Amino acid sequence: MKAAKITAKLRDAVPVCLYAEGNEQGRYRNIELPDEIKALEIQDFGFNIDAAGWISFRLYFEPGILPEELPEPKPPVTRDQKRAAKTAQAEAVVDTADLAAAITEAIAAAGGTNITVTPAPGQDYTIATPQGAVIAEIHHEDLSAAPAAEEAEEPAIIRFDVPGKKRGALARAIADFTGCEAEYLNPPSYAYQIGTLGLERDGSLIGELPPGLLDALAEQGFTPAA
């Protein structure tokens, strides 16, 4: 089983620890797990709860599977980037009528056979010879009557300008407000995990922000970067 198949079921902020030969080789938050790691075959997997009650997810690999130098964490995808990708995908959709005409022209040019294109109910098309032999069918899925899929909410990303030790102070302030412990995740991410919130190396706070958090942080001098 590839790592991606099991980690796809986890919440974005769950720490994913990579193990080989009984030792932790590195860890990422699930949202930043690199594609190179997701493509690797795992030996086993399981949850772990430490003495403080923190939950992490472990992936176990055979010796030699993990790269000697782990890749950089995958940067989070913002809501705007996701929206732009969906727009580009929608613009790339080919109309079934145009596709049917193109296929008809290509078949006729290749075989010199007269081809007819007959629209079928629901904007489907059937390509057939004059004798009625069906060469191809093009089906169009009518999405107008289907309920719109609810778009999953992307985690909020708020960036703070907190170099050096100031980032640790911000993590403690968030922990005090939320009542969760600020767990330092060590390399390669150098992030803090505070409940379901993640404080990245560059000062980005990722996750669903509890009401009043930003106001409380502003009172202590922590304001989002311009």
**97-109, pLDDT tens digit by residue?**
666 666 666 666 6
- Confidence grade of residue 127 (pLDDT, cut at 50, 70, 90): low
| Domain match, 165 and 196 both | yes
| Domain match, 214 and 160 both | yes
Percent of the chain with pLDDT over 90: 35
Residue-wise pLDDT for 148-157, tens only, equals 444 545 567 8
Q: Is-contact 75 191, C-beta < 8 A? A: no
> Which of the residue ranges 97-111, 129-143, 194-208 has the most confident prediction, judged by mean pLDDT?
194-208
CATH number of 194's domain: 3.30.310
Residue-wise pLDDT for 23-80, tens only, equals 999 999 888 889 999 999 999 998 888 776 777 889 999 999 999 999 998 886 666 6
Residue 90 lies in a domain: no
Of 138, 169, 191, the residue that ends a domain is 138
| Mean pLDDT taken over the chain | 78
d(C-alpha 128, C-alpha 117), whole Å: 7
Higher confidence at residue 86 or residue 218?
218
- Confidence grade of residue 145 (pLDDT, cut at 50, 70, 90): very low
Q: Of 171, 179, 180, 176, give the one whose Cα is nearest residue 204.
A: 171
Residue 88 lies in a domain: no
With 70 as the cut, is the pLDDT of residue 133 above it?
no
Residue 81 lies in a domain: no
Q: How many CB atoms lie within 10 A of CB 188?
A: 18
N residues, the chain:
226
Domain interval for residue 166: 156-219
With 80 as the cut, is the pLDDT of residue 129 above it?
no
d(C-alpha 74, C-alpha 52), whole Å: 28
| Domain match, 214 and 165 both | yes
- Confidence grade of residue 144 (pLDDT, cut at 50, 70, 90): very low
pTM of the model: 0.42
With 50 as the cut, is the pLDDT of residue 180 above it?
yes
pLDDT of residue 36: 93
Residue with tokens 């990303």: 157
pLDDT of residue 130: 64
| Domain match, 160 and 215 both | yes
d(C-alpha 112, C-alpha 107), whole Å: 8
Q: Is-contact 78 159, C-beta < 8 A? A: no
Residue 185 lies in a domain: yes
Number of domains in the chain: 3
| Domain match, 170 and 215 both | yes
- Confidence grade of residue 172 (pLDDT, cut at 50, 70, 90): very high
Q: DSSP string of 183-210?
A: EE--TTT--EEETTEEE-TTSEEEE-PP
pLDDT of residue 5: 82
Strands 156-159 and 134-138: unpaired
Residue 32's Cβ-count burial label (10 Å; 0-12, 13-18, 19+) is buried
Of 138, 168, 199, the residue that ends a domain is 138
Residue 127 lies in a domain: yes
| Domain match, 9 and 54 both | yes
Residue-wise pLDDT for 185-195, tens only, equals 888 788 899 99
Sheet of 44-49, strands arranged across: 23-29, 15-20, 55-61, 44-49
Q: DSSP string of 77-138?
A: PPHHHHHHHHHHHHHTPPPHHHHHHHHHHHHHHHH----EEEEEGGGEEEEE-TT--EEEEE
Q: How many CA atoms lie within 13 A of 208 on its CB side?
A: 6
